[in-house]
Structure 1
Amino acid sequence: MILAQALDATYWGYLGRGVGAILLYAVIGTLMMLVGFWAIDLTTPGKLPQLVRAGLPNAVVITAAGMLSMAFIIVLAIWSSSGSLLQGVVSSLVFGLVGIVAQVGAVRLLEWVTGIEIGDVIQDTEPRPAAKVVAAVHVALGLIVAVAVI
């Protein structure tokens, strides 16, 4: 009771809005991570979730790098949002989704240019150097797109 009296009357509204914003952005971030995963899965030959669950090392490495790159994009989309909460949410969603599309497209383009047959790589039961190249491309392009967002 003493703590409640010691705090400014506007503090509780500020705290409530902050907690609400955190929860809202957590939901948005999670949804965009799912969209990012689906974008990677959709553009990758084979069923990525099944390959990852089967423990295929190249699928796991590439998927992990792809998810990390999506997180970079989403984090900076949220960080760069400004204005009211609604404006921040809308700009985070738009920048995040555009960033995901740009990142996935760029990765697939670089796989094509380098001649990497991603379907063969991710389905191999043995680790392949090409998987590390694709993983590095995911992370590098994720950082590039993330910085472009801001």
Structure 2
Amino acid sequence: MIKELLKAISGDVRERASSPFLGAYTIVSIIINWKALVILFTSELHGSGLVEEAAKALLPVKTSIGYPLMIALGVSLGYPTLKAAISTFNIYARMLEIRAEDKLEILREDLNLKKDPIENLIRHINDHDYYEKIGYHDLKRLHDYLPDIESLLIEDKTSSKNNT
């Protein structure tokens, strides 16, 4: 029976803490009315003496109930609005980043900065009319990027198996 009561109380506490309005109201109420709560939990008085002592520590109704209510409303309405504004800002920043990446890719294409080094070398040779001036180093770079004979033979064998 006590376990069921504790489960019910803990469920209520979780619900209040998860709700922005109720959670904010509870926290602000505890902060504003802390003196009365300390007296209630630590005083050695009992009955009417305890009530009178706690009543002296309580603030006016406007302060003890009104301010927490206004702050809780502000938090419960302001938090989703602020979260949506931050999300919108992040989406806008990501869109600008994607546009910048797209412009950079277009510039790379305009400057012939492809990722394929053989294609870059061939374009470089064609652009500068080096047909007769291809040197050892140009040929060496082309040779380094080309696949070796063994890998070509292996690919050739696998393609002939697939064709049969």
**TM-score when normalising by structure 2:** 0.25
